[in-house]
Amino acid sequence: MRLGLDIGGTKTAAAILHDDGSLATLHTAPSGHGPGEVVAVAAMLAQAALREVSANRLAKDGQLEAMPAYAGACMPGLVDPASGQVRHAVNLGVSSMDLRAGLGAALGMEVNIENDVKAAALGADQLMRARRRTPESPVAGAEHRDARYGASGEGTSEHRTLAYLNIGTGLAAAVVRDGAVLRGRDGIIGEIGHFPVAGGALCKCGQFGCLETIASGSALDRLWDVPGGRGHDPFAAGLAGDSVAAHAAQVLCHGIALSLQLLVLTTGAEQIVLGGGLCALGDSLKIGIRSELARDAAASDFVASLGLADRFELLSSEVPVAALGAALLPSFDRL
């Protein structure tokens, strides 16, 4: 079995996966604040999850699975898998901490760490692989060759690129190529939320017009100042006659459409999985994005040729994709 911890801005989740990749258990609680609490909450959840699966170990197909020998953990901020350090996890009250050492000591096992969006991308890649598996070989790792790639103009290459776009309070992406997360120096690959485009606003990063200022929860808050705060649906409000909400929803979808185009032009991603809090908007969001993509494709044969509408899909906000990805993190030695 494998253990994955997702330390999010508001809640922390501990997931244990069976050897076949299916979820054995999931424990969640509000995240701690500050390095000490962050580790304490994560360790408490991990131990509860470990106790539960240990007690029920024979439940899966009558096989005695080995208990997790190490853990993976992810967190927002600048995460360095090599040093174990996390910096700038502002929402968690962490300016700097050694997450790997702290969690490793609390759990008594080796811990591998990664940035939360990068871990979620690994999780999304795993979910998409599982979907492509043939019924005859349901075991992880026994995936069949995806015949599409030989016929796609990629020649005999079997490289496969998936992008994950996280639309939460902020906007960030991550890229998985042939099953491995691409990082770049300081994990910069995928930080497209801070690329400036037309129609944006002043960003807290100092630039003007960052994609994050149109395609994120914070953008929505700025564009549609609704009483009662986050969690309202701008699509529903727009349909009910709130023109400010309708405009905010359209700007949001336009920004996401631009993000999809950006990711395809630079990474060639065949599949882009959207996750993060705003995916709770569900089909309204999906239809809104498709509508923006259709408008762009009608104006430009070039955009039409990219087939963006066929490349993206929304992840249900119920799927603990970051915890799943954290459970699959490679040990640093194998990076």
For binding to its own copies (CB under 8 A), which residues are involved?
A: 80-82, 152-157, 159, 161, 175, 182-192, 194-200, 205-207, 209, 258, 261-270, 296, 299-303, 305-306, 332-333, 335
Residue placing its CB nearer to its own copies in the complex, 40 or 304: 304
Nearer to its own copies, 162 or 281 (CB): 162
| Nearer CB in complex with its own copies: 62/155 | 155
Q: How far is the CB of 332 from its own copies (least distance, A)?
A: 6
Which one, 125 or 270, has the nearer CB to its own copies? 270
Which of 229, 224, 274, 230 is CA-nearest to residue 249?
Answer: 224
CA distance 232 to 283: 15
Query: What DSSP letter does each residue of 229-265 carry, written as one string?
Result: -TT--HHHHHHTT-HHHHHHHHHHHHHHHHHHHHHHH
Q: Compute the least distance from the CB of residue 58 to its own copies, in Å.
A: 38
Tell me how far the alpha carbon of residue 191 is from its chain's centroid.
Answer: 13
* Contact status, residue 198 vs residue 181, Cβ threshold 8 Å: no
Q: How far is the CB of 3 from its own copies (least distance, A)?
A: 21
Q: Which residue has the tokens 């997702």?
A: 6
Residue 254 CB, nearest approach to its own copies (Å): 11
Q: At what angle do helices 282-299 and 243-267 cross, to 10 degrees?
A: 70
Tell me how far, at minimum, the Cβ of 155 lies from its own copies, in Å: 4
List the structure tokens of 308: 């963006």
Please, which residue, 64 or 198, has the CB nearer to its own copies? 198
Q: Which amino acid is at 240?
A: A
> Looking at beta carbons only, is 28 or 218 nearer to its own copies?
218
Q: Which is nearer to its own copies, 124 or 281 (CB)?
A: 124
Distance CA 98, CA 118 (A): 18
Q: Measured from the CB of residue 140, what is the shortest distance to its own copies in angstroms?
A: 24
- The nearest distance, CB 116 to its own copies, in angstroms, is 17
Q: What distance in Å separates the CA atoms of residue 282 and residue 287, rounded to the nearest whole number? A: 9
Cβ closest to its own copies, residue 117 vs residue 281 = 117
Instruction: Please list the residues that pair with 94 across neighbouring strands.
Output: 89
Question: DSSP assignment, residue 126?
Answer: H
Q: What angle (nearest 5°) sits at the alpha carbon of residue 91, between those of residues 84 and 120? A: 60
CB–CB of 255/211 below 8 Å?
Answer: yes
Nearer to its own copies, 192 or 252 (CB): 192
DSSP 144: P
Q: For the CA atoms of 93, 96, 97, 100, what is the dihedral angle to 10 degrees? A: 110
Min dist CB 240 to its own copies, Å, is 31
Least separation, in Å, of the C-beta of 287 and its own copies?
22
Nearest CA among 194, 196, 253, 195 for reference residue 223: 253
Cβ atoms of 150 and 156 within 8 Å: the answer is yes
